[in-house]
Chains A and B, each alone.
Chain A
């Protein structure tokens, strides 16, 4: 398996532009998580989906951020309009939620976003 795939790996944009980050989870996984990592705030959970349905979006910082999961193999995180304070590394992770126990979250390599 190729693991969790994120694109692009690096994105540089100007303030006010729309940014779309993409994630392909591991095949067969039914839970997907979007995280943001900064030096100041550490690792923050933005939103997570189960069976393509958003379960908890309380971590989404404001209305400029939106996330979708149109099918089991694809998710997007969109920022519109982007601001310099959105500069961070954004991680996508997936896991298989079963009937018992914990199943490991597998992280993608991240997208490093720089908003000028």
Chain B
């Protein structure tokens, strides 16, 4: 079945450091891939998405490229801010009908001044 594996946290960085959060997936067909972010005390919000191989999703300085050859969708940001502290979830939607998402376990990011 479909599954998502992402790196364990917490990830602790200083402000302006480079961020990478690894995500790999297992899926049949041609899934769509997503990163969601959860700020403290809130629900999840869509951060970015990519719907086919080699697509790059980007938003708020974050980027992720859909790599079919390595079944990966790593999240990157060149310079993190304290306000980026949150939990980040990688997710996939299978090539079937409904908008059902399979989420990874989440990676907590803490950015210090």
Contact = CB atoms under 8 A, between A and B. Distances in A.
Nearest to A30: B99
Contacts of A55: 98
Contacts of B98: 31, 48, 50, 55-56, 97
B103 A107 contact: no
Question: Residue among A43, A45, A48, A102 with the most chain B CB within 10 A?
Answer: A43
Contacts of B49: 102, 104
Given A42-B105, A43-B89, A102-B93, A56 B100 contact: yes
Question: Residue among A4, A105, A107 with the most chain B CB within 10 A?
Answer: A105
A101 B97 CA distance: 9
A48 B100 CA distance: 8
A34 interface: no
Contacts of A102: 32, 49, 51, 93, 99
Contacts of B44: 43, 91, 93, 105, 107
A48 B99 CA distance: 9
Interface string A26-47: 0000010100000000110100
Given A50-B98, A102-B49, A42 B103 contact: yes
A110 interface: yes
Contact of A42 (B43, B46, B106): B106
Interface string B85-112: 0000100010001111101111000000
Contacts of B41: 109
B69 interface: no
Interface of B: 32, 41-46, 49, 51, 89, 93, 97-101, 103-106
9 contacts: A33-B100, A43-B89, A43-B106, A55-B98, A91-B43, A91-B44, A95-B99, A102-B51, A110-B42
